Amino acid sequence: MMKRLSIIVASFLLLSSTSVFAEGLSFGILANNRVVGTHVGLLTSSPYGALEVAGSLIYNKDRYTIGSGLVSVQSDNLSPGLRYGLGFKYVNGTMKSKDKNHRGDLSAVGFNLGGAYELPATINPFSIPIEVTLNGTLAPKSITFDETNGYMDFTAGLRFYMLENAYLALTHSYIEAEFDTGSTWTRYVNETALGVVLTF
């Protein structure tokens, strides 16, 4: 029952997703020679800041499939050029151990912190806007489900705003998930990817 509910919630968040730090809709695809990922997002303003709802899916054949949904409140009140958000991220999917002898169902709700900083002209070597982005999620055992005992992820990236409604994204992501499938094991993922994000 919990697994079925997890899949329904993840699907809903992916279909109704939103984007980060720029009001409107965004859609992106990132990939390398092993992994492909998609992102859909929508950011809307409110009297208390900006509300972000976003969804993503990453796929590595024979290794893992992870869907996620994010709900976060965004602001830029701390410092010029700095935007940040606090919220919750839900992850759902399957992962295999490095030796492929174990398979675990991934399901967790984590605390999420994200931010982006636009490089000032004095240190930006290019004539286009560039943002440095950081995003992290932590889910302790008490808010994990199914066979998951713990989850965390961290992503650092650069955004190159080549066009008014599109940017080039370079990211490096680290994922760590703990499972109990009769035996306890941990899956680590390190991936660097390049992609394009369109904004509307």
* pLDDT single digits (tens) 179-196: 999 999 999 999 999 999
Classify residue 164 by its DSSP letter: T
Q: List residues bridging with 47 in a β-sheet.
A: none
Tell me the Ramachandran region of residue 11: left when phi exceeds 0, alpha when psi lies from -120 to 50, beta otherwise. Answer: alpha
Are 20 and 28 contacting, i.e. CB atoms less than 8 angstroms apart?
no
Q: Which one-letter amino acid corresponds to residue 112? A: N
* pLDDT single digits (tens) 94-142: 999 999 999 999 999 999 999 999 999 999 999 999 999 999 999 999 9
3-state secondary structure labels for all residues of the chain: CHHHHHHHHHHHHHHCCCCCCCCEEEEEEEECCCEEEEEEEEEEEECCEEEEEEEEEEEECCCEEEEEEEEEEEECCCCCCEEEEEEEEEEEEEEECCCCCCEEEEEEEEEEEEEEEECCCCCCCCCCCEEEEEEEEEECHHHECCCEEEEEEEEEEEEEEEECCEEEEEEEEEEEEEEECCCEEEEEEEEEEEEEEEEC
* pLDDT single digits (tens) 76-94: 888 888 999 999 999 999 9
Of 13-22, 46-55, 115-124, 183-192, the range with the lowest mean pLDDT is 13-22
Per-residue pLDDT at 15: 38
Does the pLDDT value for residue 154 go beyond 60? yes
* pLDDT single digits (tens) 160-182: 999 999 999 999 999 999 999 99
Picking from 97, 51, 40, 58, the residue whose alpha carbon sits closest to that of residue 75 is 51
Per-residue pLDDT at 114: 96
Are 174 and 153 contacting, i.e. CB atoms less than 8 angstroms apart?
yes
pTM of the model: 0.85
pLDDT band of residue 16 (cuts 50, 70, 90) is very low
Which residue ranges form the domains of the chain, and what is each CATH number? 2-199 (2.40.128)
Tell me the mean pLDDT in the region 39-60: 90
Average pLDDT, the chain: 89
